[in-house]
Chains A and B, each alone.
Chain A
Amino acid sequence: MSKEIFVFVECKDGSIRKVSYELLSKAKEISQKSSSIVYAVIIGSNQDVLANQLKDFADKVLIVDNEKLSKYRWDTFLSVMEQIIKKYKPYVMFGPSTTTGKDIFPRLAARLNGAIISDAVDVVFDENTLKIKKPLFGGKIISWMKCKDDSTFFVTFRPNSFIVENRSLNGELIKENIDVSEDSRIVSISTEKRETKKVDLQEADFIICGGRGMKGPEHFQDLEEIADIMGGRVGASRAVVDSKWRDYDDQVGKSGKTVSPKLYVGCGVSGALHHTMGMDTSKVIVAINKDPNALIFQYADYGIIDDVFNVLPALKEELKKIKKEI
């Protein structure tokens, strides 16, 4: 049985998403233990430059270039992935648990009658098996799972689960000539992209999250400024989103996004279970709240008990200084 690890590379706005580098880095670590090799699969149109950037991270880079693939659609991408998998028969294929990954991987697994584990956070190679770590019930329980038979195995991982490591592999570029088939039952009428150069909430290393304690939409400007200094993103609690102070896209929590940044700062967030379920895998959690009994202090590593409006100006200044030092 071949033990090749394939990674589906996701691109966004003309660049490779960080999560793809994370998956390639982890895949390489595993391949060294299981004496196998890592393939990056990049699908799209005119991606020579991007494919070159992948060379450092994979032993082989499969490139499928076709103008019909300039925009993601599950039908076209699926037809390509299906043919690649049938040709190479990889042992496992990793993908991101993002909007795109969640759309295509389940359908791909169903088409190929494979095995799938979605929304995982870790993987280890042990006793000749891949053991997959997946939180359940919003992180209340952790499960370790494996694939039982030798069918093609698909795993999607949350962004920010792994560290990016450039191993300068200088992998081989391989162009694949593959027919792309489109499902005529779906017609795209229009797309609307949010104008933002900001990093994706789920991929951000730094998140400053505002709760109802921020008092109103106008005060989120302070948080925006801090996020910009740190190259991160502003998040929001559901109370804030429901009050229409921020878009749903910013919502952190059970019914919003699950995030695990390196640093999460909650400002005027009470730390209700539905919220913490979406952020308690953050590496470091800081809470700013005027109520010493706020639930969020049960999850935070560090806390400041004070009025958030007194704290934010100082925080902004100090972070600015730090960024200047670097």
Chain B
Amino acid sequence: MNILVCVKQVADTEARILLTSDKKSIEIENKYNMNFFDEFAVEEAIRTKGKVKDCQISVCTYGSNKATEVLRTAIAMGADKAYLLDNNGYDIEDPIITAKILASFAKTEGFDLIFCGRQAIDDENANIGAMMAEFLNIPHVSAILKFDVVDEKKARVESEIEGGKEIQEVQLPALFTTQKGINEPRVPLITGVMKAMKAQINIIDPATLKDLSKGMIDESASKISVLTYETPSARPTVKIIDGETPEQKVKALIDILKDEAKAL
């Protein structure tokens, strides 16, 4: 069985993020991690490998050279092969293009099973998984909470739906996006980290992939564009509600919420 995991390198939530003076681009402090939800995807692939015969896990990312770090993290956790789909340092805005590139890579290599994270914590799009599945013409299930391989051709999954959960059987090849709760991602062992440091990262120019050309994936192909970036308006300083007793404080709070904040 061939498994692909798509991982994204994202800015750490603590990283400082600044606007350039023309407000056309952003600068991110050099603190990056593997996307939170992608850790569950890598972990689920490793657990699946432990349950089926002849299984190989590839991880890929579409990003800059720096993104090889997340590939190494995935290898340290237990993935076998890593691919950097090199964006030459240029971040494309249009998620459709990212999905096309990842799908095209998946098509070129051929996979039975693809895992993505539920969403990236930087853009919060939750786009790429379902889009990739569409481009590959395979079924997808979003936000899975349990995963089992029934046989070579079928998986059984539990997923989050509006107001509940659903169990489905899905014919492979298929794509699944992982939600928190599916597993506890492992922390790489030192031996894994050593292996990852030496691991070979395959670097691919996306324009050379099946059915793709430069014109289809460069800036001119992007259907959306950013007009400007802003920093959010700062919240006014907090008003601490005074009072002798908790009861007095609550009364004063309620009055303010009614009269000033109009929140009640």
Known: A110-B99, A248-B181. A301 touches B235 (CB 8 A): yes
- Flag if B246 contacts A311 (CB, 8 Å): yes
Q: How far does the alpha carbon of A283 sit from the alpha carbon of B257 in the complex, in Å?
A: 12
| CB of A161 closer than 8 Å to a CB of B | no
Q: How far does the alpha carbon of A274 sit from the alpha carbon of B12 in the complex, in Å?
A: 10
| CB of B174 closer than 8 Å to a CB of A | yes
Residues from chain A with Cβ under 8 Å of B129 in the complex: 106
Interface residues on B, range: 35 or more
| CB of B160 closer than 8 Å to a CB of A | yes
Residues from chain A with Cβ under 8 Å of B186 in the complex: none
Q: How far does the alpha carbon of A296 sit from the alpha carbon of B38 in the complex, in Å?
A: 28
Residues from chain B with Cβ under 8 Å of A141 in the complex: 17, 19, 26, 229-232
**Which residues of B in the span 233-251 have a Cβ within 8 Å of any Cβ on A?**
235-236, 238-241, 246-247, 249-251
| CB of B226 closer than 8 Å to a CB of A | yes
| CB of B96 closer than 8 Å to a CB of A | yes
| CB of B106 closer than 8 Å to a CB of A | no
Question: Which one, B52-60, B78-86, B119-127, B202-210, is touching chain A?
Answer: B119-127
| CB of A31 closer than 8 Å to a CB of B | no
Best-buried of A106, A143, A254 by chain B (most CB within 10 Å)? A106
Residues from chain A with Cβ under 8 Å of B11 in the complex: 137
Known: A72-B161, A146-B225, A147-B223. A103 touches B130 (CB 8 A): yes
Among candidates A103, A136, A194, A310, residue contacting B164 with C-beta atoms closer than 8 Å:
A194
Q: How far does the alpha carbon of A157 sit from the alpha carbon of B46 in the complex, in Å?
A: 35
Q: How far does the alpha carbon of A319 sit from the alpha carbon of B255 in the complex, in Å?
A: 11
Known: A103-B142, A311-B250. A302 touches B229 (CB 8 A): no
Q: How far does the alpha carbon of A196 sit from the alpha carbon of B164 in the complex, in Å?
A: 10
Closest to A292 in B: B240
| CB of A62 closer than 8 Å to a CB of B | no
Tell me, rounded to whole Å, the shortest Cβ–Cβ distance linking A163 to chain B.
13
- Flag if A314 contacts B250 (CB, 8 Å): yes
Tell me, rounded to whole Å, the shortest Cβ–Cβ distance linking B117 to chain A.
11
Residues from chain A with Cβ under 8 Å of B230 in the complex: 141-144
- Flag if B250 contacts A192 (CB, 8 Å): no
Known: A145-B227, A301-B261. A116 touches B95 (CB 8 A): yes
| CB of B259 closer than 8 Å to a CB of A | no
Residues from chain B with Cβ under 8 Å of A12 in the complex: 162-163
Tell me, rounded to whole Å, the shortest Cβ–Cβ distance linking A309 to chain B.
9
- Flag if B261 contacts A302 (CB, 8 Å): yes
Known: A110-B135, A142-B232. A102 touches B264 (CB 8 A): no
- Flag if B247 contacts A303 (CB, 8 Å): no
Q: What 0/1 pattern do residues 43 to 56 of A give for CB contact below 8 A with B?
A: 00000000000000
Known: A119-B126, A280-B235. A255 touches B121 (CB 8 A): yes
Tell me, rounded to whole Å, the shortest Cβ–Cβ distance linking B223 to chain A.
4
- Flag if A192 contacts B169 (CB, 8 Å): no
Q: A-side binding surface: helix, strand, loop or mixed?
A: mixed
Best-buried of A100, A139, A147, A314 by chain B (most CB within 10 Å)? A314
- Flag if B167 contacts A189 (CB, 8 Å): yes
Known: A189-B156, A280-B235. A106 touches B13 (CB 8 A): no
Closest to A247 in B: B181
Among candidates B122, B131, B222, residue contacting A110 with C-beta atoms closer than 8 Å:
B131
Q: How far does the alpha carbon of A297 sit from the alpha carbon of B156 in the complex, in Å?
A: 46
| CB of A162 closer than 8 Å to a CB of B | no
- Flag if A189 contacts B169 (CB, 8 Å): yes
Residues from chain B with Cβ under 8 Å of A315 in the complex: 250, 253
Residues from chain A with Cβ under 8 Å of B156 in the complex: 189
Residues from chain B with Cβ under 8 Å of A196 in the complex: 163
Residues from chain B with Cβ under 8 Å of A111 in the complex: 134
Among candidates B162, B166, B171, residue contacting A192 with C-beta atoms closer than 8 Å:
B166
Question: Which one, A22-30, A32-40, A179-187, A217-225, is touching chain B?
Answer: A179-187
The contact sample of 11 A-B pairs, CB cut-off 8 A, is A72-B161, A75-B139, A99-B143, A104-B130, A144-B227, A148-B223, A200-B163, A263-B263, A301-B235, A304-B240, A319-B264
| CB of B200 closer than 8 Å to a CB of A | no
| CB of B47 closer than 8 Å to a CB of A | no
Residues from chain A with Cβ under 8 Å of B241 in the complex: 302-304
| CB of A135 closer than 8 Å to a CB of B | yes
Q: What 0/1 pattern do residues 107 to 148 of A give for CB contact below 8 A with B?
A: 101110111111100000000000100011111111111111
Residues from chain B with Cβ under 8 Å of A277 in the complex: 13
